[in-house]
Amino acid sequence: MFEWWEKRKVRRAFKGYISPGRIKEIMESPESLRLSGEEKELTVLFSSIRGFTTIAENLSPTALVDLLNGYLTEMTDVIFRYEGILDKYIGDAIMAFWGAPRPQDDHAVRACRAALEMQQALTKLQNSWEKEGRPRIEMGVGINTGTMYVGNVGSNRRFNFTVMGANVNLAARLEKTSAAFGAHLLMGENTFEAVRKEMLARELDIVRVKGRVQPVRLFELLGTVADADQHGDRIDRFGRGLQAYREQKWAAALEVFEGLASDYPQDGPTRVFIKRCQGFLLQPPEQG
Digit-coded pLDDT (tens) for 112-141? 999 999 999 999 999 888 888 888 889 999
Q: Which residue has the higher pLDDT, 252 or 134?
A: 252
CATH code of the domain containing 175: 3.30.70.1230
Cβ 95 vs Cβ 111: under 8 Å = no
Residue 281: its pLDDT value, please?
96
Query: Does 87 fall in a domain?
Result: yes
Mean pLDDT of 3-32: 58
Mean pLDDT of 45-55: 92
Among candidate residues 180, 184, 231, 234, the one with its CA nearest the CA of residue 209: 180
3-state SS record for the chain: CHHHHHHHHHHHHHCCCECHHHHHHHHHCHHHCCCCCEEEEEEEEEEEECCHHHHHHCCCHHHHHHHHHHHHHHHHHHHHHCCCEEEEEECCEEEEEECCCCCCCCHHHHHHHHHHHHHHHHHHHHHHHHHCCCCCCCEEEEEEEEEEEEEEEECCCCEEEEEECHHHHHHHHHHHHHHHHCCCEEECHHHHHHHCCCEEEEEEEEECCCCCCCCEEEEEEEEEHHHHHHHHHHHHHHHHHHHHHHCCCHHHHHHHHHHHHHHCCCCHHHHHHHHHHHHHHHCCCCCC
Query: Does 207 fall in a domain?
Result: no
Mean pLDDT of 93-110: 95
Q: Which residue has the higher pLDDT, 206 or 17?
A: 206
Mean pLDDT of 100-119: 96
Instruction: Examine the pLDDT at 30 and tell me if it is beyond 90.
Output: no
Query: Does 1 fall in a domain?
Result: no
Instruction: Examine the pLDDT at 10 and tell me if it is beyond 80.
Output: no
Count of structural domains, the chain: 1
Query: Does 130 fall in a domain?
Result: yes
Instruction: State the average pLDDT for the chain.
Output: 88
Q: Is the bond preceding 101 in cis, omega lying within 30 degrees of 0?
A: yes
Query: Does 241 fall in a domain?
Result: no
Among candidate residues 190, 153, 150, 152, the one with its CA nearest the CA of residue 170: 190
Instruction: Examine the pLDDT at 59 and tell me if it is beyond 70.
Output: yes
Domain that holds residue 189: 37-195
Residue 32: its pLDDT value, please?
46
Identify which of 28-37, 121-130, 157-166 has the greatest average pLDDT. Answer: 121-130
Query: Does 81 fall in a domain?
Result: yes
Instruction: Examine the pLDDT at 5 and tell me if it is beyond 50.
Output: yes
Query: Does 161 fall in a domain?
Result: yes
Query: Does 285 fall in a domain?
Result: no
Instruction: Examine the pLDDT at 23 and tell me if it is beyond 70.
Output: no
Instruction: Examine the pLDDT at 253 and tell me if it is beyond 60.
Output: yes
